[in-house]
Structure 1
Amino acid sequence: MEQPGPIGVFAAYATSRGRALVDRELYLPKSWTEDRDRCRAAKVPDEREFHTKGELAKAMVLRALASPLPIAWVTADSAYGQEGRFRRLLEQSGVGYVLAVPKSQFSVGCPRIDWLFSQAPAEAWERVSCGNGAKGPRVYDWAAIRLPAVAEYDCQDETQVRQRWALARRSPSRPDEIAYCLACSQLDTTVEQLVRIAGMCWTIEECFQATKNECGPDQYEVRRYTGWMRAHHPGHARPRLPGRDGCGIKGGCRNGSRTLVDLTVAEIRRLLAAGRPHGPHPSRCSPRVHALNWSTWRRQRQAVARRCHHQRRLRTI
């Protein structure tokens, strides 16, 4: 069987205004770290030892918490959510989390998380959107269960300050497919807020896609450790840029009475290219004004098409 090779572990920072990759680590399997000649040929530092993906994720979370970034929540897929030490780190750091876990995950008071929801009545499921995607709102059926508190982590002076949750997400079209999450938050956190945070986990995929489109990391190969770390530096990957007027990446902005989609990196490039000196333009207006008018019209039509698509999709759910 072929041994897995090095794998990148990435962290993204997301807000209502935008998202971007902010950190990365390279996971090296034991077949690499135990072969020092192979590591030296790839310019891997001699002090680099084997670390699990969970340990690399913990290091990136600690660096993010030590940075000036305001961080209130952490979300991740089941590869990291199933690690108890990773969840303990977040609890000790005081940040809330919504982490995906496998169905066999142990939870407080029950040996498997899927057993908690196996007998859930129909009224326990509520259809909620966890955010907008490329095809409209991501609507799923959600169920939530409050878990018993762990005094060591959830209480201060014998007073409970945090609440643990177990969440289940079910597809309306495929009800047999159920995903599970463990969450820990402040006492006043609602289920709708937990669902919204769970939906933010998809932003890392959007960052990857936007980075591939703009920076092309899937179009080249690097064979040395220093080359990979340099090529995947977060400063080279700014997938989407929030507008200076405060428009969110997903929300759209208004131009007078018209709603426009937000400016993308490609659209900004077109406008900058139109701002360069050109020869005579066939239209009466200047090339800059023509490009701006054309961009406004195109973004307006895109906003109308997106709104109609979302409404049509909601009617079919």
Structure 2
Amino acid sequence: MAKTFDHGGGVRSVQVPIPDNPLGHTLVYVVDTDRGPVLVDTGWDDPASWDALTAGLAACGTSVQEVHGVVITHHHPDHHGLSGQVREASGAWVAMHAADAAIVRRARQTRPERWYAYMAAKLTAAGAPEEHVAPLRAPRRRTLPGLAPALPDREIVPGELLGLPGRRLRAIWTPGHTPGHVCLHLEEEHPARRPGHGRLFSGDHLLPEITPHIGLYEDPDDATVTDPLGDYLDSLERVGRLGPAEVLPAHQYSFGDAPGRVRELLVHHEQRLTGLLALLREPLTPWQLAERMEWNRPWPDIPYGSRTIAVSEAEAHLRRLVKLGRAEPVPGSEPVAYVAV
């Protein structure tokens, strides 16, 4: 039985499962327009997920064939995975911010071997032990999920209204979780007349109980030194100033008081940076820092793939501290260690 929810005012959501993932599901939003439903995200590319999406659309009184367009908050496979199948079934357009569309384009052109070599080199430079890096060097036949995602055919332009006939949906660029993450502001009165400015489809940018992963933007062909955590904190404040009456996130459940949630997240990251400075009284590599950081379980219990993600998060926080002049690399260290200033 498809799990759907009517949010009122021509907006419903469908729970699309994410296989083998503690998040459980992605909330795919179905927005009525004068030309048929438009989806905000599509869910993971998996047969069970596709079945849930199609059943959910039927429960909403429509079908995948009637979908007019797909708006993608960001390129991750639990959001963009089924976009190609939806487009094939319906002829719908697929829209994404240019920065994430560029990642999709490169992902389609990058052979898995190149990606594994890049990850191995990055982890070695971060101080990962050989037993963690070795599996990335092993010959393999399997492919990574999300390496052949659908190329979008429309660009989401920040600050502009999307072409949804009969609706006012404005794109808000919110980089951090990915370089091209967007939130979508439905600039219409809340159906229950809650105080505030419309509703916000927040993707992974603003979630009621989860702090989204902020790691380094991964790209084998781009050596630009970015500051994802700085991007995230800036775009958090931008969303807080919108003051939507309700937030419709891609995971968990809808909620109010966006400015309050933004404040909690800003405080969380400030406390985390302060905690890392205390750890950096002695020089540490990104891997050593990740081992000592607080996670939702002890480091020995964190599975392989999650350790890689944790190290990327440690690096994003380190990069922020370096940019703020509060930490610096130790000259001549190999792999590079960092120390508080």
TM-score by length of 1: 0.27
Structure with higher Rg: it is: 1
Structure with the higher strand share, 1 or 2 = 1
Greater relative CO, 1 or 2 (CA 8 Å, sep 6+): 1
TM-score by length of 2: 0.26
